[in-house]
Amino acid sequence: QKEVEQDPGPLSVPEGAIVSLNCTYSNSAFQYFMWYRQYSRKGPELLMYTYSSGNKEDGRFTAQVDKSSKYISLFIRDSQPSDSATYLCAMSWDNYGQNFVFGPGTRLSVLP
Amino acid sequence: NAGVTQTPKFQVLKTGQSMTLQCAQDMNHNSMYWYRQDPGMGLRLIYYSASEGTTDKGEVPNGYNVSRLNKREFSLRLESAAPSQTSVYFCASSPGTGFSAKNIQYFGAGTRLSVL
């Protein structure tokens, strides 16, 4: 079993839909959780950064962490074609970059 | 405002050839990282440098060497390239460590390497 798992997709949705992206993990020590967006042929860029459990909202994006279920989610409201990208989750038990564990990513297509 | 700059963007090598991937950051970050990204595998850490003057192995260091030339630059060297090293390589940097700070990693645009 991989330490962090994501459905690879592709996930195709119509413009304006609510998108739910998810990761499951096996290490209960993880307490820092991140979502990165990666456009085709570009490097990942950070979208959301949360510590411990709960929700965090930033514009159209909401990150949710459920440590009891070892499950994190990223919701995108009013999705736009510009949201078409691969979304990577990442997590760590401490705040040391070398210990970040990345999921394989989910490819999202938002169709106009 | 360049951020993290990687060179070259593309490279094709023959088995056994050597090359160095270059990375530079202009954000005065302490920590730098080299990852490889393969389909279905996620980003895997090759080597990292927590601070200037130090380097350590990550998850997949075999076949690679690194040099932290100064605070800005961190290079990755393939001494004898193998087809299994065909991948996309990303360099990243972050402020460092600390429980009170967001240790956000900033990534370069990547180097696409094919080894034939």
Amino acid identity, position B40: G
- Write down the mean pLDDT value for chain B: 93
Predicted confidence at residue A1, as pLDDT, reads 62
* A contacts of B108 (beta carbons < 8 Å): 43
Using a 10 angstrom Cβ sphere, with 0-12 exposed, 13-18 middle and 19 or more buried, the burial of residue B66 is buried
Backbone phi and psi for residue A100, each to the nearest 5 degrees, phi listed first = -70, 135
CA distance linking residue A87 with residue A28, whole number of Å:
22
Q: Which of A45-54, A99-108, B57-66 has the lowest mean pLDDT?
A: A45-54
Q: Does any CB of chain A come closer than 8 Å to the CB of residue B61?
A: no
B91 CB burial (10 A radius; 0-12, 13-18, 19+): buried
Which of A43, A94, A98 comes nearest B50 by C-beta? Answer: A98
Separation in Å, CA of A17 to nearest CA in chain B? 26
Average of pLDDT values for A12-22?
Answer: 97
Mean pLDDT check: name the lowest of A49-53, B75-79, B83-87, B101-105: B101-105
Please give the residue of chain A at the shortest CA–CA distance from B101: A95
Are A12 and A111 in contact by the 8 Å Cβ rule? The answer is yes
Residue A95 has its nearest CB partner, among B90, B103, B109, at: B103
